[in-house]
Amino acid sequence: MKPYLPLVALAALGVSLAASAQPLPKGTALKPPADAGAQPDVPVDLMKAVTKRLSADDFEGRAPSTAIEPKVLDYIVAQFKAAGLQPGNRGQWLQPVPTVEITASDYTPLKVSGAAASLSFKPGDDYVASSYRVTPKSQVQDSELVFVGYGINAPELGWNDYAGLDMKGKTAVILVNDPDYAMEGEQGLFKGRRMTYYGRWTYKFEEAARQGATAALIVHDTFPAAYGWNVVNSSWTGAQYSVQTPNDAMDQTVANGWIQKPVAEAILKASGKDLAALTKAAQTKGFRPVPLGLKVSFGFDNAIRRSTSNNVVGVLPGKSRPDEVVLYSAHWDHLGHCTPQGGKPNDDICNGAVDNADGVAALTAIAKMNAETGPAERSQVFVALTLEESGLLGSEFYGANPIYPLDHTVGGVNMDALLPAGRAKSYTQTGGDKSELGDLYLAALKARGLTDVPEDHPERGGYYRSDHFSLAKRGVPMFNVERSGDLMNGGTAAGEKAAQDYTDNRYHAPADEYSENWDWSGITQDVELFYDLGRTLADGTMWPNWRAGDEFRAIRDKAIHDRDCAAATKGCNTK
């Protein structure tokens, strides 16, 4: 979990998921089933026990792919069994996640050359870079530089920053965020101040690779990036992790990186152009890429380590529509050993009690509540994910290799870092009202006398920074709701104080430890809401889609169309 994330965020059955399954309904309204019983009590003592155990010192901070992982997995599996779950991966509890760790070193300067210019920029101070490619050396040599605006290709919006350009052999210079980030409201083509997926740096690198670029360099600017250069520099120093692929990611760019804004200004000036003027032009629909008449060269060596971690998967099979799946998730991993801080110079264990032992505890509690209630109409899958702290890799692997087909996955609820504080008067949807799941969410709040409030700092793109995103970008609507800081006891002052204390003193630090003095009332409120959202979805007939115009709508539409065509007796007319 990142420090500016919300406080809370949003497999095989013994039943065939054959292509002959019946088409699923697409209703947009959802009501609880008429025979729905009272919600079971939240097992708070269970959550306390699981959180305390997972964050104990002898679990060494739950670093994945280390000697401690089997001990952590054995404990989670035992808790899933005790909660009433069945093994969720074709009779097995674990889903292996193969990863690759790449540590770059021996960077050369980033050199830019042209008829009237020769510039050189230092690694770390001026630029950072790495590669997804599993290769001992990454070298960009005399690659043509092209300014591609925000690096966005969004057909549903009629926007293509790469229009008319073959990027083979070229390096893209890309602006951070999306074109209307500076607006106060959310009325722009790209939702104004609220960041869309197109504004995320991960998307920009992925799109550059799809366009065939040799390399991609994002221009850092503190406000639209939401963090300073120090964060970029530290984040891109040391080991970088990714999921192993059969082709060792050779379909990706040779190198991805960031350059300081003054570096970009100097490069543009050397090409006879102005960064501010081109930035303004790039914010207008119809912008076309601008060749800079310059070439760039840089490189670095890579130390490569391959390893395997594991997701833990359990299931409660549905009683009438077992091939339709509702997914619940929380990540089990944390940082392992880390730098001692504060008054405990010998404490080098980042225990991760809030991040995310209590999320796994909530996941286990919801599994137990559902098991005690009895089978839902749809199957419910519970996944304790690995490698969230390394870049959402456990969920990314599940999304790319789903145990339960994504076109049969109705939606889901993700739980990440539940703050031990009081009950709140309101909740918020991180990412805004992106999907029809919002209808269910608002109904659940109304039934509880709670309200929905706008997200703080929508420009930071919080929706794209936790495990649910790996499913969302593949078309599965996922809940990402958070308890607001307006507490029933103490109001916003108390809520902001609790959140700031955690961020300043415990986030990703040894002080993130379990305490017998925690206030569990807010976490209990979260679990009550999460149970309601998931269970109502599992017992209902809703097949939610993204709102019209959302960046994930097209992939969901295609998945539903393809699934229904496969299920139709005579197939579909695809014309």
| Cβ proximity of 317 and 14 under 8 Å | yes
**How many Å apart are CA 345 and CA 503, to the nearest integer?**
20
* Percent of the chain clearing pLDDT 70 (strictly above): 92
- Tokens representing residue 400 in the block: 């790319």
Residue 97: closest CA among 308, 305, 304, 401: 308
- Tokens representing residue 546 in the block: 């993204």
Reported as a pLDDT band with limits 50, 70 and 90, residue 14 is very low
Confidence check: pLDDT of 13 > 60: no
Reported as a pLDDT band with limits 50, 70 and 90, residue 369 is very high
Write out pLDDT tens, residues 348-365.
Answer: 899 999 999 999 999 999
Reported as a pLDDT band with limits 50, 70 and 90, residue 15 is very low
Q: Measured at the alpha carbon of residue 407, what is the angle toward residues 482 and 200, in degrees to the nearest 5?
A: 50
**How many Å apart are CA 367 and CA 82, to the nearest integer?**
10
Residue 364: closest CA among 14, 57, 53, 5: 53
Mean pLDDT of 259-273: 97
pLDDT at 573: 57
**How many Å apart are CA 177 and CA 195, to the nearest integer?**
7
**How many Å apart are CA 65 and CA 81, to the nearest integer?**
23
Reported as a pLDDT band with limits 50, 70 and 90, residue 110 is very high
The domain limits of the chain are 40-418
**How many Å apart are CA 77 and CA 571, to the nearest integer?**
41
Helix, strand, coil in percent for the chain, rounding step 5: 30, 25, 45
Q: How many residues does the chain have?
A: 575
Q: Packing angle between helix 44-54 and helix 358-373, nearest 10 degrees?
A: 140
Contacts of 237 (CB under 8 A, 6+ apart): 124, 128
283: three-class secondary structure by DSSP: coil
- Tokens representing residue 183 in the block: 């607006």
Mean pLDDT over each residue of the chain, to the nearest integer = 89
pLDDT at 484: 93
- Tokens representing residue 196 in the block: 């869309």
Write out pLDDT tens, residues 142-165.
Answer: 999 999 999 999 998 999 999 999
| Cβ proximity of 212 and 478 under 8 Å | no
Mean pLDDT of 415-424: 95
The β-bridge partners of 174 are 218
**How many Å apart are CA 436 and CA 254, to the nearest integer?**
39
Confidence check: pLDDT of 231 > 90: no
Contacts of 54 (CB under 8 A, 6+ apart): 62, 72, 75, 76, 332, 352, 353, 357, 360, 361
The β-bridge partners of 481 are 429
Mean pLDDT of 114-130: 93
* Phi/psi at 337 (5° precision): -80, 140
Q: Is 214 exposed, middle or buried (0-12, 13-18, 19+ CB in 10 A)?
A: buried
More confident residue, 504 or 522: 522
- Tokens representing residue 505 in the block: 């003193």
Residue 176: closest CA among 141, 214, 216, 215: 216
Distances (CA, A) of 161 to 126, 197, 403, 406, 428: 25, 15, 36, 30, 33
Find the distance separating the first CA and the last CA of the chain, reported in whole Å.
44
Reported as a pLDDT band with limits 50, 70 and 90, residue 569 is low
Mean pLDDT of 499-517: 89
**How many Å apart are CA 72 and CA 64, to the nearest integer?**
9
Confidence check: pLDDT of 411 > 90: yes
Write out pLDDT tens, residues 269-303.
Answer: 999 999 999 999 999 999 999 999 999 999 999 99
Confidence check: pLDDT of 21 > 50: no
- Tokens representing residue 177 in the block: 């965020």
Distances (CA, A) of 565 to 62, 270, 409, 573: 44, 55, 17, 8
**How many Å apart are CA 147 and CA 172, to the nearest integer?**
6
Mean pLDDT of 292-315: 97
* Percent of the chain clearing pLDDT 90 (strictly above): 74
pLDDT at 343: 64
Confidence check: pLDDT of 17 > 70: no
Write out pLDDT tens, residues 457-504.
Answer: 887 888 888 999 999 999 999 998 999 999 999 999 999 899 888 888
C-alpha dihedral over 400, 403, 409, 414, to 10 degrees? -80
Residue listed under structure tokens 């991040």: 355
| Cβ proximity of 121 and 109 under 8 Å | yes
| Cβ proximity of 100 and 289 under 8 Å | no
pLDDT at 455: 86
Confidence check: pLDDT of 95 > 60: yes
pLDDT at 203: 93
Q: Is 198 exposed, middle or buried (0-12, 13-18, 19+ CB in 10 A)?
A: buried
pLDDT at 24: 34
What is the full DSSP assignment across 36-81?
Answer: --PPPPP-HHHHHHHHHHHTSGGGGGG-TTSTTHHHHHHHHHHHHH
| Cβ proximity of 320 and 405 under 8 Å | no
Write out pLDDT tens, residues 180-230.
Answer: 888 888 888 888 888 888 999 999 999 999 999 999 999 999 988 888 998
Write out pLDDT tens, residues 23-42.
Answer: 333 333 334 333 345 789 99
**How many Å apart are CA 441 and CA 427, to the nearest integer?**
10
| Cβ proximity of 350 and 509 under 8 Å | yes
Distances (CA, A) of 398 to 8, 133, 410, 470: 21, 21, 15, 8
